[in-house]
Amino acid sequence: MNAINPVVTMTPMGERAWSDPAKSAPMLARIPMNRFVQPEEVARTIAYLLSDDSSMVNGVSLLIDGRFQAN
């Protein structure tokens, strides 16, 4: 089994929850890429894991976090 672990994802709910710069600025400051994840980036990762291209990828937890965990 594989897992994906995105940081804040800018879905419509994410946009509502994180649109206030006073709330989002501290979190963005912790993400080296200085942006939140777009839903398409999560979808592409899922599509990869569902494809034959990932047939030998097993038991991984993929971070989609702009290097958030690297800090």
Cα 65 to the chain's mean position, in Å? Answer: 4
Listed in order, strand segments (DSSP E) in 1-71 are 3-6, 61-64
Per DSSP, the three-state class of 62 is strand
Query: Greater confidence, 67 or 59?
Result: 59
Instruction: Indicate if the alpha-carbon torsion angle 27, 28, 33, 37 is positive or negative.
Output: positive
pLDDT tens digits, one per residue of 1-52: 999 999 999 999 999 999 999 999 999 999 999 999 999 999 999 999 999 9
Global confidence as pTM: 0.85
Q: What percent of the chain lies above the pLDDT cut of 70?
A: 99
50 lies in which domain range?
Answer: 3-70
pLDDT of residue 68: 85
CA pair distance 71, 69, nearest whole angstrom: 5
Number of structural domains the chain divides into: 1
* 39, containing H or E segment: helix 39-50
